[in-house]
Amino acid sequence: MNNVRTNRMAGLMLAMGMVSCNLVAEETTKKAEAVKAEPSVNEIEVGFSYLSDDAYRFGRFNGMTDDGAYIIGDVRAKAHTENGDFWRLRGTNLGLDSQYLMFQAGTQGAHSLSLEYDQLPDYENDTGVTPFLGAGGTHLRLPAGYDPDTAVFDISDPKNFTSELPADLDRFLLPFDQETERKRLKLGARLFFKSRWELDGSFQQETKRGTDWIGSSMGPAEEEAIMLKTTGALLPEPVDFETNKMHAALRYHGKQTQWDFSYRGSLFSNKDDSLTWQDPFDLDRTGRLALEPDNQMHQLSAAVGHTLSATNRLTGLLSVSRLTQDDDFLPFNTSTSVDDLPRRSLDGEVWLYKGQVKLTSRPMPKLRLSAKYDYDERDNNTPTATYYYYIADGIPGELPNKAWPKDNDPLSYQRHQFNLSANYRFNTKMGLRGGYKYQQIDRDSEDQERETTREQSLTLKWSLRALEELEVDVYGEHTRRRGSTYETRRDENPAMRTFYLADVDRNKLGASFYYMPTSRLSLGLTGEYLDDDYTDSALGLTEAEQVSLLLDASYQISERISSHAFYTHEAFKSSNAGAQDKFLTTPDWSAELEDTIDSAGLGFNFNQFLDRWDLGADLVYTRSRGKIHMINNTINPSSGDSIADPDDPTQQFPDLETSLTSLQLWTRYRYSDTISYRFSYWYEDFSSEDWTVDDLEADSVDHLLLLGEDRLDYTQHVVGLSVNVRF
């Protein structure tokens, strides 16, 4: 079956492509009169797929999670009349949880209406367990008979602390599926006027419902033991979201000037405002946390394009957006009331302003120039107040004795960006393109370590058609970021640097080759290298590099047989440094992270390999590996030896590995000009090694209640049969 996202994009493009944005009134009338009724090529495909095994991960985004048969249908139909009336229908994966359906009708050059329905599941895991009753709801409680061991704590001996889950925890564990499902319904309309104007509007409602998971913590009664006695639990989280989006646009299509006035709105609501749970380590305590708050966004924009001359064009854009969030606060914790709050709600308000102007020019037949300026401003008008921050629920006492005061610091900023580019074509075989970019961001926030950052980039690309059969592109880019004085946040290590604010020198080199020695054979090779050097970061991310390689080939063996193959390699490396003591400005540990992804595939199509039979096959293999190499630079004063040996496996994280093998075979029998049958076989094998879940039970980690999930390895066989009717 086709990927639902690809089908959705194709459906939207099909719907939007019915009417050109450049139609004018006089042309519209003439074209509508000239429309001829064209023969329709409609298709309906109905069939079934049979799965050999249950495989939750296999069906994560298509809904086919259980063994057995699934009815699946696709439809593609359209009709046009001589007077310009038309309709179109497109449906994919009908019968699955990942189905899509679109219908559009109207009169070409006059008006159209469209209706879309889209469904997308996300079945994340079905192996999780929890002792809580009411999973998927907002109040989690523990069952009768659940009896955790009594917590013991001696402040004079912090290590003498026990807070254990029940010894017979397993008998209370209940399974729950981590799964959500999105459903989207969209209604659109478009109206054309005879005076070059067009009105376009749509309304979309999207719901997301299901159960996810969220982390929680419960603090101790003794403030001094906050880091020693805090317990945590992973909880089933209810998901019940609704998002309504509105869009309206008024457009003018002149010969030299075009206008676009638009409104966009988004209203998000969460049916559940909080999640309450009984402490699995102490039944006398209750925790509560806030869930995603309701919020809104409204935007007005205006865009203009004007052709100054045959070789010059000017475009501009202005927009203003208002974002608000005004849900009522919860109390600081379950032992206080809302009367202790400095405000009843955030009363959050953010204004976003955007402006853009762009000039493109062709002063010479071989030279193209472009200049663009972008302005972005975030004006955060959210009120500031002092909040007494509780690390976790369960800390009793009167405010502010048992909490830490913290003022919220709304972030505002202004961003200026200039882009200059030039493209010169020396002749039909060689061209040169270059560009310069300058970006400056000025931040207004006490919590931001750097008030101003300035980033400059230079790019250069050389294109050459060395031979009639060979095309070569070589490109490079250098970026440099600097800024105002870096001031670390309070209680942070003064040598720590945040990567997106830190000084960095970035270099990128790349090349691509396309070779077509014959009309039947084409070969492609693309490689790219990226290096980031954080020049002033003693702690934090200090260096990163990325290497990518792509090889692809296609060969038309004969008029009826075509083949293709590809190989990709991606490697990501980064170096990180840290210090256990926040006053130590030189690193006492470091970590080298390395991720590699390799993919290879090949396939072929054989049309009419027998009289009425077509045949095809695709094989894809992907393997990924993640490595974390820890190095402890701390020296034991008495022995002079490193406390942790980097070559000792017990001091290292295990590797993360995944592999996927997918083989698809199909054949089609053309029974007649209008009816064909398709038989398919799909084999897929997925395996992983993941230390974050391997051999971890719900109580494997002290003072934590986990989900006890398993790896979702699977081997799946899928057999399909369908009939396609064209009419």
Summarised one tens digit per residue, pLDDT across range 528-545 is 999 999 999 999 999 999
Q: Please tell me the least confidently modeled range out of 206-210, 332-336, 575-579.
A: 332-336
Report the percent of the chain where pLDDT is more than 70.
87
Which tokens belong to 106? Answer: 């109207």
Q: How high is the pLDDT of residue 581?
A: 81
Q: How high is the pLDDT of residue 391?
A: 64
pLDDT-based confidence at 276, cuts 50/70/90? very high
Q: How high is the pLDDT of residue 31?
A: 39
The answer to whether residue 143 sits within a structural domain is yes
Question: Do 588 and 634 contact (CB within 8 A), yes or no?
Answer: yes
pLDDT beyond 90 at 460: yes
> Residue 305 phi/psi, 5° resolution?
-135, 135
> Residue 115 phi/psi, 5° resolution?
-135, 130
The answer to whether residue 659 sits within a structural domain is yes
Residues for the chain: how many in total?
A: 727
Q: How high is the pLDDT of residue 221?
A: 60
pLDDT-based confidence at 224, cuts 50/70/90? low
pLDDT beyond 50 at 20: no
CA gap 222, 195 in Å, rounded: 75
Secondary structure in 3-state letters for 450-516: CCEEEEEEEEEEEEEEEECCEEEEEEEEEEEEEECCCCCCCCCCCCECCCCCCCEEEEEEEEEEEEC
Does one domain contain both 144 and 251? yes
Please compute the mean of the pLDDT values over residues 511-521 and round it to a whole number.
96
Question: Do 171 and 128 contact (CB within 8 A), yes or no?
Answer: no
Does one domain contain both 587 and 648? yes
Please compute the mean of the pLDDT values over residues 327-340 and round it to a whole number.
83
Does one domain contain both 297 and 323? yes
Question: Do 249 and 239 contact (CB within 8 A), yes or no?
Answer: no
- Under 8 Å CB-to-CB from 64, ≥6 apart: which residues? 49, 51, 58, 70, 96, 718
pLDDT beyond 90 at 331: no
pLDDT beyond 80 at 13: no
Please compute the mean of the pLDDT values over residues 223-239 and round it to a whole number.
81
Where a domain ends, among 670, 693, 710?
670
Q: How high is the pLDDT of residue 588?
A: 86
Does one domain contain both 298 and 339? no
pLDDT beyond 70 at 1: no
Greater pLDDT, 649 or 273:
273
Does one domain contain both 556 and 538? yes
Residue 134 DSSP code: S
Nearest to 552 by CA among 617, 602, 509: 602
CA gap 326, 100 in Å, rounded: 35
Q: How high is the pLDDT of residue 218?
A: 85
- Under 8 Å CB-to-CB from 34, ≥6 apart: which residues? none
Please compute the mean of the pLDDT values over residues 105-122 and round it to a whole number.
96
Does one domain contain both 506 and 536? yes
pLDDT beyond 90 at 723: yes
The answer to whether residue 600 sits within a structural domain is yes
The answer to whether residue 546 sits within a structural domain is yes
pLDDT in tens, 193-209: 988 999 999 999 999 99
Does one domain contain both 261 and 340? no
The answer to whether residue 88 sits within a structural domain is no
pLDDT in tens, 662-716: 999 999 999 999 999 999 999 999 999 999 899 899 999 988 999 999 999 999 9
- Under 8 Å CB-to-CB from 403, ≥6 apart: which residues? 332, 388, 389, 390, 395
The rounded mean pLDDT for the chain is 89
- Partnered with residue 116 across adjacent β-strands are 102, 186
- Under 8 Å CB-to-CB from 146, ≥6 apart: which residues? 131, 166, 172, 280, 283
How many structural domains are present in the chain? Answer: 3
**H or E segment at 9?**
helix 4-16
Amino acid 455 reads: E
- Partnered with residue 642 across adjacent β-strands are 635
CA gap 619, 58 in Å, rounded: 17
> Residue 699 phi/psi, 5° resolution?
-115, 30
pLDDT in tens, 151-210: 554 545 555 555 689 999 999 999 999 999 999 999 999 999 988 999 999 999 999 999
Does one domain contain both 217 and 343? no
Does one domain contain both 334 and 277? no
Q: Please tell me the least confidently modeled range out of 319-323, 360-364, 370-374, 385-389.
A: 385-389
Which tokens belong to 247? Answer: 């869009």
pLDDT beyond 90 at 43: yes
Does one domain contain both 278 and 332? no
Provide the 3-class DSSP secondary structure of residue 7: helix
Q: How high is the pLDDT of residue 229?
A: 73
Greater pLDDT, 432 or 40:
432
Greater pLDDT, 510 or 639:
510
Does one domain contain both 340 and 197? no
Please compute the mean of the pLDDT values over residues 53-81 and round it to a whole number.
95
Does pTM top 0.75 for this prediction?
Answer: yes
pLDDT-based confidence at 491, cuts 50/70/90? confident
Question: Do 671 and 708 contact (CB within 8 A), yes or no?
Answer: no
Provide the 3-class DSSP secondary structure of residue 229: helix
Where a domain ends, among 367, 395, 410?
410
Please compute the mean of the pLDDT values over residues 320-335 and round it to a whole number.
91
Question: Do 413 and 401 contact (CB within 8 A), yes or no?
Answer: no
pLDDT-based confidence at 267, cuts 50/70/90? very high
Q: Please tell me the least confidently modeled range out of 22-31, 267-276, 468-477, 594-603.
A: 22-31
The answer to whether residue 285 sits within a structural domain is yes
ω before 400 within 30° of 0 (cis)? yes
- Partnered with residue 419 across adjacent β-strands are 372, 437
CA gap 489, 498 in Å, rounded: 11
The answer to whether residue 74 sits within a structural domain is no
CA gap 354, 415 in Å, rounded: 10
Please give the residue range of the domain that contains residue 401: 328-347+382-410
Q: What angle do CA 470, 473, 475 make, to 5 degrees?
A: 165
> Residue 12 phi/psi, 5° resolution?
-65, -45
Q: How high is the pLDDT of residue 650?
A: 55
CA gap 576, 592 in Å, rounded: 6
Q: How high is the pLDDT of residue 22?
A: 34
Q: Please tell me the least confidently modeled range out of 62-66, 401-405, 432-436, 569-573.
A: 401-405
The answer to whether residue 107 sits within a structural domain is no
> Residue 89 phi/psi, 5° resolution?
-135, 130
Which tokens belong to 553? Answer: 């080939």
Nearest to 632 by CA among 668, 588, 592, 669: 588
pLDDT beyond 60 at 115: yes
Does one domain contain both 503 and 535? yes
pLDDT-based confidence at 406, cuts 50/70/90? confident
Amino acid 63 reads: G
pLDDT beyond 60 at 549: yes
